[in-house]
Structures are given as structure tokens and as C-alpha cells.
């Protein structure tokens, strides 16, 4: 596993931030990603907390192998209280945002409180800049992400943001990163909207390390070989003539049993 043993805590109410060491026993028990975020949510957020209240928190948690050569190690888990159910929520997304969080030198970003006006956060390594996001409030995620790239001019920047649904606290609003990737289950976008957090832009210069690089590389190569040889992995799992893999598994039928179009050949 690749981990730094620390998190970055950001308080929107006080516009402050600080690093915290993650206790070794917590890392040992919960590893990273969903487990780590869940452990902190249970410890810090009460069971009766209103999902849209300032007391709710957002935990952005890259997987334990993010930043390494491990196949498919590119996802982050977003843990909070769900506006849709009022219960525990975890959802995840791919793309490059998780790698940027890990490159910032942290195993988790914990966001709490509520801003007094629309705000975007720029996290670079251990520093956080609070940006006035009023000009982006009311814009979609594509416009917002493009505007942040233009403003910050950071080539390693990755952005997670909300659109107008999140701003208006629609209880199933998602969080979008890398333009077209979404952490979509349970309404985390509404939690960001309630906190007046328009976007989270992250980059960094930290490299992930592993304890035994040569052994890890052998394991990575073995995993890739296994993936390519699996009937539903690698090239065999790719669509033949642009046909969906799931259609092959379901005998060419969609979720409602309807026949899916087949390309000739």
C-alpha cells in the first residue's frame, strides 16, 4: 500500500486548514478509501446529523493503491451523510482526481463547516487557498472546471465540482470530477451546495512510494497478465465492433430485456 499517514482538514466556516496525523491503528484497521472515510464519519459525525447542516462533513478518500502502478487504482471514495436517505453514504468516482489528492501528500481530505459565500478550494501540497466562487455560482460543471483551469494555470490540477442541482440542494445531486466522472449516489452534491462549496481543485508534487518496489512490480505484472487472460478482461472484454461488454454477458439484451443493436460482423 502507498500512504502518507496524514489527512488535510479544511474548515469552511473559519477559512482555516491544518494537517493531522492519522493514527497507526486506524490505518492498520481501515487501510484507506471507503474504510478510512467511514471510520472518521462514525467518529466525528453524529447519527442524527442533518445531511445539509454545517455539522455534516465530506471525506474525499483515495484508494490505498492510488498513485501506484496497480491496475485500475484510480478511484476515490466520497463519504458523508446522505441528503437522500439521512443515512450513511459512500460513493466513488474514477478519473484522475484521486491521484491528485494523493499527489497533494494526503490520504484523505476532510471538509467541514459552511462558507458564508460561494467558495472554491485550491489545494496544492499542504497549502489551501480559499477562492471567491460567486462568479461561477449558477454555472455547470464543465464551465466551472474550465474556469478554474484557466484561473490557476496548474498543469497537474484536477477538479471536483457541483452544478446548479448541487447549489440548489437537490437531494440526488452528484459531484463531478474530470468533467465527466461522477460520484453520484445519495446526493453528495447537495452537501457541497449546502456548504457553499462550488469546487475542490487539487494538485501536488508528492510521489507515492511502496515498501518493496521490486516485489510490488512483479505483483502488478502478474495482475495485468491475469486481467488480459480473463474471458471478461482485457481485449476480450472490450466491445466487438463497438458492442457493450454487458450485452455479451446478458445475451445481447439490455436491463429491461430489450434487444440491443448489434453492429454487423
CB 181 within 8 A of CB 92: no
Q: State residue 248's pLDDT score.
A: 43
Q: Lowest mean pLDDT: which of 65-69, 192-196, 243-247?
A: 243-247
Q: State residue 227's pLDDT score.
A: 61
Neighbours of 252 (CB within 10 A): 15
Query: Which residue bears the cell 455534516?
Result: 56
Predicted confidence (pLDDT) at residue 236 exceeds the cutoff of 80: no
Predicted confidence (pLDDT) at residue 114 exceeds the cutoff of 70: yes
Please name which of 62, 101, 99, 96 lies closest in space to residue 78, comparing C-alpha atoms. Answer: 62
Predicted confidence (pLDDT) at residue 260 exceeds the cutoff of 90: no
Q: Where are the domains of the chain?
A: 6-203, 239-265
Predicted confidence (pLDDT) at residue 245 exceeds the cutoff of 50: no
**Cell representation of residue 30:** 481501515
User: Residue 261 pairs with which residues in a beta bridge?
Assistant: none
Record the pTM. 0.85
Tell me what the mean pLDDT of segment 131-151 comes to.
Answer: 98
Q: State residue 204's pLDDT score.
A: 97
The CATH number assigned to the domain with range 6-203 reads 3.60.9.10
pLDDT band (50, 70, 90) for residue 93 = very high
- Rounded to the nearest integer, the mean pLDDT of the chain is 88
pLDDT band (50, 70, 90) for residue 252 = very low
Predicted confidence (pLDDT) at residue 250 exceeds the cutoff of 50: no
pLDDT band (50, 70, 90) for residue 3 = confident
Query: Alpha-carbon dihedral of residues 180, 115, 57, 44, nearest 10 degrees?
Result: 160
Q: State residue 262's pLDDT score.
A: 44
User: Residue 175 pairs with which residues in a beta bridge?
Assistant: 183
Amino acid at each position: 500500500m502507498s500512504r502518507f499517514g496524514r489527512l488535510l482538514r479544511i474548515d469552511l466556516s473559519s477559512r482555516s486548514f491544518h494537517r493531522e496525523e492519522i493514527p497507526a491503528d486506524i490505518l492498520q484497521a481501515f487501510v484507506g478509501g471507503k474504510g478510512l472515510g467511514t471510520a472518521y464519519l462514525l467518529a466525528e459525525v453524529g447519527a442524527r446529523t442533518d445531511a445539509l447542516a454545517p455539522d455534516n462533513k465530506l471525506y474525499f478518500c483515495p484508494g490505498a493503491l492510488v498513485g501506484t502502478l496497480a491496475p485500475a487504482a484510480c478511484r476515490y471514495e466520497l463519504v458523508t451523510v446522505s441528503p437522500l436517505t439521512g443515512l450513511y453514504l459512500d460513493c466513488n468516482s474514477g478519473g484522475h482526481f484521486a491521484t491528485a489528492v494523493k499527489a497533494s501528500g494526503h490520504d484523505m481530505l476532510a471538509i467541514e463547516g459552511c462558507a458564508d459565500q460561494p467558495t472554491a478550494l485550491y489545494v496544492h501540497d499542504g497549502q489551501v487557498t480559499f477562492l471567491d466562487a460567486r462568479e461561477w455560482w449558477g454555472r455547470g460543471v464543465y464551465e466551472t472546471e474550465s474556469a478554474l483551469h484557466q484561473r490557476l494555470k496548474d498543469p497537474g490540477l484536477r477538479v471536483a465540482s457541483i452544478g446548479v442541482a448541487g447549489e440548489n440542494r437537490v437531494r440526488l445531486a452528484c459531484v463531478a470530477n474530470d468533467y465527466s466522472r461522477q460520484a453520484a449516489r445519495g446526493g453528495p452534491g447537495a452537501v457541497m451546495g449546502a456548504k457553499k462549496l462550488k469546487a475542490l481543485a487539487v494538485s501536488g508534487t508528492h510521489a507515492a512510494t511502496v515498501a518493496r518496489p521490486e516485489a510490488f512490480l512483479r505483483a502488478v505484472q502478474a495482475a495485468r497478465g491475469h486481467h488480459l487472460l480473463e474471458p471478461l478482461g482485457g481485449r476480450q472484454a472490450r466491445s466487438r465492433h463497438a458492442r457493450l461488454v454487458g450485452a455479451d454477458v446478458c445475451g445481447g439484451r439490455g436491463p429491461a430485456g430489450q434487444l440491443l443493436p448489434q453492429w454487423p460482423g
